[in-house]
Amino acid sequence: MHSLTARSFPLRRPRGVLPMARGAGPAGPRQVFCYHCDHPLTVGAMAMSTNCPGCNKPIILEDIVVKSYKAVFNVETCGKLIVKKGGRVVAQKRIVAHAGIESDGVIQCKTAITGSHVRLGKKSEWRGDLRTPTLIVEPGAKIQTSHFSVPDDPLEHLKKNDQ
């Protein structure tokens, strides 16, 4: 029985935060990790959401695009968080964007964790702790006192040499 009709996942996407479908492309299945329990799962290239087989919680797979003021509790996606010029994200708790963050607007959060690069554009503003493997800051970006960790321990190679 083919019951592949749109199934409404009980997703709690923050109000006013627009999801953006991933760019059309013939890419095959991709592997993502659940941001609740780190369970790995394979999803279709165009999948926008699913339920984690590990914790059974709903997870968002698509990119989240913000173009205006959005105050939310958490921003969580296995895709990217894209804040356009004029956009402002105020997350009371955390931002998790496994595919990275691109900002030309304002981001305020308590902590942000990404699995890919973070780019802060020249007109962007940032406030909140950040853990990311790669950071790109363009001249002109404003950062209020925040703890950055890019990646976890940049002096790891020195410690190895000392031993």
Partner 1 sequence: MADPAVNETVIGSDTTIKGDMTVESRARILGKFEGTIRAKGHLEIADAAQCRADVETGTVQIDGTMQGNITASDKAQLNATARVSGDLVAAKLIVAEGAAFTGHVSVGPDAVKGSGHHTPTPPAPPAPDASDKSGKK
User: Which residues contact partner 1 by CB under 8 A?
Assistant: 117, 134-155, 157-158
* Residue 57, Cβ density class (10 Å: 0-12 exposed, 13-18 middle, ≥19 buried): middle
Cβ atoms within 10 Å of 133's Cβ, excluding its own:
14
Helix H or strand E encompassing 93: none
Smallest gap from Cβ 142 to partner 1, in A, equals 4
Cα–Cα dist 53/41, whole Å: 8
Vertex 94: Cα angle to 36 and 116 (nearest 5): 75
Q: Does 36 bind Zn ion (CB under 5 A)?
A: yes
Q: Does 37 bind Zn ion (CB under 5 A)?
A: yes
Pairing, β 94-97 against β 106-114: parallel
* Partner from partner 1, Zn ion, none contacting 3, C-beta within 5 to 8 A by type: none
Q: Does 39 bind Zn ion (CB under 5 A)?
A: yes
* Partner from partner 1, Zn ion, none contacting 37, C-beta within 5 to 8 A by type: Zn ion
- Select 34 or 101, whichever has its Cβ closest to partner 1: 101
* Partner from partner 1, Zn ion, none contacting 39, C-beta within 5 to 8 A by type: Zn ion
Q: Does 54 bind Zn ion (CB under 5 A)?
A: yes
Binding site residues, Zn ion, CB under 5 A: 34, 36-37, 39, 52, 54-55
